[in-house]
């Protein structure tokens, strides 16, 4: 697996760092990209960028304890209508939500990345 950063890193809510990575050995758009997520006092998380993908992890800051859900929304291969074999890029939105008594979206990252 040869992971290569795609573009600059992103900050979510000022405390979560997200770096999009591409595995150069894979050609399937739903397997080739992932998000590397770093949050304070949490082991590094990895989320595959594809339809229906999500993960949850605990966060602790002072007296605050909560859970963050990172989810991939609106994943698409580009150009529109392309198959996995003919796609040249992907696009999606990586959304971060705080799950407590209710759900609050704390930030998102728009992702567009080339396969070629």
Q: In this predicted model, what pLDDT tens digit does every residue of 60-110 receive, in sequence order?
A: 777 777 899 999 999 999 998 888 888 889 999 999 999 988 899 999 999
- How high is the pLDDT of residue 32? 92
For the chain, the residue count is 116
Give the residue-averaged pLDDT of 25-53: 91
Model-level pTM?
A: 0.89
Percentage of the chain with pLDDT > 90? Answer: 61
Is residue 29 very low, low, confident or very high in pLDDT (cuts 50, 70, 90)?
A: confident
Contacts of 31 (CB under 8 A, 6+ apart): 23, 48, 50
Q: Are 114 and 24 in contact (CB under 8 A)?
A: no
Task: Give one DSSP letter per residue of 61-72, joined into a string.
Answer: ETTEEEEEEEEE
- How high is the pLDDT of residue 101? 82
- How high is the pLDDT of residue 115? 83
First to last CA, the chain: 17
Is residue 13 very low, low, confident or very high in pLDDT (cuts 50, 70, 90)?
A: confident
Rounded to whole angstroms, the Cα distance separating 94 from 79 reads 20
Contacts of range 99-103, beta carbons closer than 8 Å, 24 or more positions apart: 99/56, 99/66, 99/67, 99/68, 99/69, 100/66, 100/67, 103/69
């Amino acid at each position: 697996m040869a992971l290569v950063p795609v573009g600059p890193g992103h900050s979510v809510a000022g405390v979560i760092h997200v770096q999009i990575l591409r595995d150069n050995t894979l050609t399937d758009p739903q397997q080739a990209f992932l998000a590397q997520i770093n949050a304070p006092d949490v082991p590094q998380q990895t989320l595959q960028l594809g339809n229906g993908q999500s993960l949850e992890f605990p966060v602790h800051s002072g007296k605050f304890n909560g859970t963050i859900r990172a989810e991939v929304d609106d994943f698409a291969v580009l150009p529109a209508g392309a198959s996995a074999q003919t796609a040249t890029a992907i696009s999606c939105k990586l959304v971060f939500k705080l799950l407590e008594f209710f759900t609050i979206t704390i930030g998102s990252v728009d992702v567009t990345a080339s396969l070629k």
